Structure 1
Amino acid sequence: MNLVCIVCAGVLLLAGSAVAQEGGKAIPKIVISLGTATPGGGFPLYGNAFAEVMNAADPALSIAPRNTKGSNENIPLLEKGELDIGLVAGEPAYEAFMGIGRPATRIKILTAIYSSPGMFVVRADSSYRTISDLKGKPIAFGARGSGLPILSRYMLDGLGLKQDEDFQAVYLDRAGDGPAMVLDGRVAALWGAGIGWPGFKAVADSPGGARFIAPDADEIARIRARHSYLKPLTVPAGSYPNQTAPIPSVGSWSFVLVRENLPDDVAYHLARTLHGVEGAFCQKLAQACETTAANTVAAAPDIGLIHPGVLKYFREIGVVK
């Protein structure tokens, strides 16, 4: 059962639509279910901030985040109409849009959320300094069902490495479990992506500190020669404690995706509210500074993958002709 409730132009989409009060007047309430991921990861952090900013900006909205297993669960939940919107990493989104290993999806893009340069974090006192140093070692590649293990699989494939054969791959039940496993030595490294990612921050904030491992310039070229949709991305200096230099890597953009049959007027309303509070969202969460209308148009694999209601708003503000 989808959880959107809206009265719009006299049409009741679901019985028992909620009602908000504004200026003493009853207004229709739009109730939106938002799928994030397992606790301790970047998606719940972003999703909770997204809901707080949007709900505060618009009394007609009630966005309710809920933890899921991540990208690989959010996509089928959206396709079945059991979520209204969901956070999905770039690689699972790309595979779903392109029909890689599955039928092409018909769900659409609401917004690009942030870029996700991938890298490993190790303890600062470890001897590991390159990706090759990690071969044969236990590596936490992220939570089961999240997009992170898919990004690492593509990146390693570009280097001629197999994630489940050349490493002792560990997949987590909860994203938040990874940092402790690095710190106590159960794994040599934790794979992750993005700026301000909670797993990286937890290791970097530890008393011993952290070191980051990403592909070098030659490795980036090799990865992109095999998987050209992966983009060169950089983690700016100072993104994590004691990170004094920028870290070049590869990665993709993550998205908020919406179910195919989300009404155009609802998608328009969400886009108008979101991009009207870009500044406030950026102040609340550093990662959200990349959540802009312009970045959405640039990051979408094809403009036709953006929801028609969102495109209507983008045309009104001149981002799309």
Structure 2
Amino acid sequence: MKIRKCLSLILISAMAISLSACGGSSKNNGSPAGDKADTQSTASGNSGGADGGSSGRAVTLDLVTGSTGTSWYSYGATFAEVLPRALPSGSMINAAAEGGATSNPIQVSNGTYQLGIGYNLSDKWAFGGESLYTEPSDNLRGIAGYLDTFYYIAVVRTDAGWTDLADVAANHIPINISVLPAGNMGNIVASMIFEYYGMTFDDIIAWGGKVEYADWGTSVENIKDGRTDFICHNITQGHAAVTELASTVDMTFIQFPQDMIDTFVDEKGFSPETLPANCFKGQDTDIRTFGVTSTLFCSTELPDDVAYGIARALCENVEDIRAGHTALQRFTAESACDPGGMGIPLHPGAEQYYKEAGLLE
């Protein structure tokens, strides 16, 4: 699938930032970034799925997650341990400490990776060629959804002297913000939030403020050092970067107005969410917001028996999945096949497992 040059440059830029965040490492276990994994199986059709693929040949699958410090990076380690349990003996999952919500669907669609973690919303955009995607990646298929809940939050240093974005926009207050690089889902949604208030990143600069484009780790350091005051992004409960930031700097969690939440839910496709109180130091009340959920997805190239085995491994090891990260506590076998949690069609191999397990009609 060819993507127009402008989109490619955006996605490459986003991936380059992710690579720098993890020390330039391309893949775990030494697997070259551009190599396709061996997904061939001696079992035909779905025959390997019912017995976990034991009659098939071992497979090695590359899973694109997110950079170090992200929840998805932690998920990758969990999936690397759990997923081979229902695949042929000797199978391996290589979790890559790179990628992101906007680039992962493209990399799975074009075969660079066989598996990816994504958001239901950005997967939907990629599948249909919507939003920043200029052409559809309609070979994407879901394996499991509703892995977690991601909440969009905005936090500002308490000593910054402001806590209201509407006041910033109305009075042209010069603020110093950290935002993820262009092409990243966090950057796109932060732009949408600023647009709601009637301002842009360029306006911030014009009013004497500062906009620093950086990955999560650098953004945390920028705020800790006082270089910037504010960041707006999606997080999970137990998010490592926000936990570190809130534990070392006095931060104020901003409550979005209900009208804004309703707009993002009704018009932009997000889900209404509430971040429970006391998830982070200084966050002593519930935060009403909007959000997305993470998915595990593949392409139509993944054999049916392999997709079957992955779905089976997830649903038969729910407690081990949940133990991998605080945010994965949401995951259940019953919700894994809910189409709302994936945003894209279900892979037929995974669908067969869910039907046989009585989870899908």
- TM-score, normalising length from structure 2? 0.75
2:135 corresponds to 1:103? yes
SS at match of 2:273: strand
Partner of 2:299: 259
Match of 2:160 among 116, 126, 141: 126
* Other-structure match for 1:67: 97
User: Is 1:51 matched up with 2:59?
Assistant: no
The answer on whether the counterparts of 2:80 and 2:94 sit within 8 Å (CA) in structure 1 is yes
Q: Give the residue type in structure 2 aligned to 1:41.
A: T
Bigger mean CA offset, 246-255 vs 69-78: 69-78
1:165 aligned partner: 202
- 1:155/1:121 CA distance change after superposition, 3 Å: same
1:218 and 2:259 aligned: yes
Whole-angstrom distance in 2 between the partners of 1:102 and 1:178: 29
The alignment-based identity, stated in percent, is 21
Give the whole-Å Cα distance in 2 for the aligned partners of 1:114 and 1:265: 25
Equivalent residue letter for 2:243: K
1:239 Cα shift? Answer: 1.7
Q: Distance in 2 between matches of 1:74 and 1:117?
A: 20
Structure 1 residues 304, 209: closer, same or farther in 2, change over 3 A?
closer
Q: Secondary structure at the match of 2:75?
A: helix
Q: How many angstroms apart in 1 are the aligned matches of 2:40 and 2:162?
A: 54
Q: CA deviation at 1:151?
A: 2.7
Say if 2:64 is the partner of 1:35.
yes
For residues 201-260 of structure 1, the C-alpha deviation after alignment (integer angstroms, 9 at most, x for no partner) is: 111121x33221241223212333432x11111111222234222111011122222122
Structure 1 segments unaligned to the other structure (5+ residues): 12-24
Query: Take 1:170 and 1:248, find their aligned partners in 2: how far apart are those partners?
Result: 27
Q: What do the CA deviations read for 1:104-130 (whole angstroms, capped 9, x no partner)?
A: 222111222222110112234333323
Contact 2:177 2:231 in 1 (8 A): yes
1:115 aligns with one of 149, 173, 187? 149
Per-residue CA deviation, residues 159-197 of structure 1 (Å, 9 max, x unaligned), is 25354334454322x332111111112222122222222
Closer/same/farther in 2, CA of residues 188 and 134 from structure 1, 3 Å limit = farther
**Matched residue type, 2:177:** I
Q: Secondary structure at 1:270's aligned position in 2? A: helix
Look up the match of 2:32. Answer: none
* Cα distance, 1:122–1:269 mapped onto 2, change above 3 Å: same
- Whether the aligned pair in 1 keeps the contact of 2:120 and 2:343 (CA below 8 Å) is no
String of CA shifts for 1:93-112, please: whole Å, max 9, x gaps: 23112321422222111222
User: What secondary structure is seen at the aligned counterpart in 1 of 2:314?
Assistant: helix
State which of 185, 189, 210 in structure 1 corresponds to 2:230. Answer: 189
Q: Report whether the alignment pairs 1:200 with 2:242.
A: yes
- The code of the aligned residue for 1:99 comes to G
The verdict on how the C-alpha distance between 1:52 and 1:177 changes in structure 2, with shifts beyond 3 A counting, is: farther
Partner of 1:292: 332
Work out which of the residue numbers 61, 86, 89 in structure 1 matches 2:119: 89
Match for 1:190: what amino acid? I
Tell me, in whole angstroms, the C-alpha distance in 1 between the residues paired with 2:254 and 2:82: 34
Q: Distance in 1 between matches of 2:177 and 2:282?
A: 23
Contact 1:32/1:64, CA 8 A, preserved across alignment: yes
Which moves more between the two structures, 311-320 or 134-143?
A: 134-143
| Aligned equivalent of 2:187 | 149
Contact 1:108 1:258 in 2 (8 A): yes
- Measured on the aligned residues, the alpha-carbon RMSD in Å equals 2.7
In 1, are the aligned partners of 2:86 and 2:312 still within 8 Å (CA)? no
Q: Distance in 2 between matches of 1:297 and 1:56?
A: 20
Contact 2:84 2:91 in 1 (8 A): yes
Query: Is contact 1:57-1:277 (8 Å) kept?
Result: no
Question: 1:64: Cα distance to partner?
Answer: 0.6
State the structure with bigger RCO (CA 8 A, min sep 6), 1 or 2: 2
User: Given the superposition, is the C-alpha separation of residues 254 and 299 from structure 1 closer, same or farther in structure 2, using an over 3 Å criterion?
Assistant: farther
Count of aligned pairs: 304
Q: Does the 8 Å contact 2:277/2:287 carry over to 1? A: yes
